[in-house]
């Protein structure tokens, strides 16, 4: 059972805009690609920015950095940009999980390293394994 309502075709204008924004962020922040090695750098940038970010810049920062984090999820974990059950934009992975990267960035801005995007990103394989194990137990 898929938990996100629909994936966005890779070439849809919305998916292209998210990917384009992610690349702009990667270049501007000089991040090393979209893999697991880049997300700890991103987490440090979020943490360094959280105290000095002007309220008027907050939403744009969350959107831009969320696009980058989402694209890391797409490329590393073979996800797709998708609409969640609540209509929010995020990343669906393996038809089992849906993550909102914008919410994850906001959480780290609000709570600091206790809500690290790097720790979350590193936990995705375990989250997938737990979902697969739970599904297997249901059908056994």
24-73 pLDDT per residue, tens: 999 999 999 999 999 999 999 999 999 999 999 999 999 999 999 999 99
Number of structural domains in the chain: 1
Which of 50, 47, 94, 41 has the alpha carbon at shortest distance from 69? Answer: 41
Q: Is 67 inside a domain boundary?
A: yes
Judged by average pLDDT, the poorest of 28-32, 53-57, 82-86, 116-120 is: 82-86
* CB-based contact 49:25 (threshold 8 Å): no
1 in any annotated domain: no
Q: What is the mean pLDDT of the chain?
A: 89
Length of the chain: 140
pTM of the model: 0.88
Please give the residue range of the domain that contains residue 96.
6-139
Handedness of CA 40, 42, 43, 48 (dihedral sign): positive
The string of pLDDT tens digits covering residues 125-140 is: 999 887 655 544 555 4
């Amino acid at each position: 059972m898929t938990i996100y309502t629909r994936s966005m075709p890779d070439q849809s204008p919305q998916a292209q805009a998210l990917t384009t924004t992610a690349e702009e962020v990667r270049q501007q922040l000089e991040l090393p690609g979209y893999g697991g090695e880049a997300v700890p750098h991103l987490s440090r940038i979020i943490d360094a920015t959280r105290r000095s970010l002007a309220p008027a810049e907050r939403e744009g920062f969350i959107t831009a950095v969320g696009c980058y984090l989402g694209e890391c999820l797409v490329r590393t974990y073979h996800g797709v940009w998708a609409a969640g059950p609540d209509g929010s934009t995020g990343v669906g992975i393996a038809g089992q999980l849906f993550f909102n990267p914008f919410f994850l960035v906001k959480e780290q801005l609000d709570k600091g390293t206790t809500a690290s995007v790097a720790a979350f990103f590193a936990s995705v394989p375990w989250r997938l394994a737990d979902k697969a194990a739970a599904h297997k137990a249901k059908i056994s």
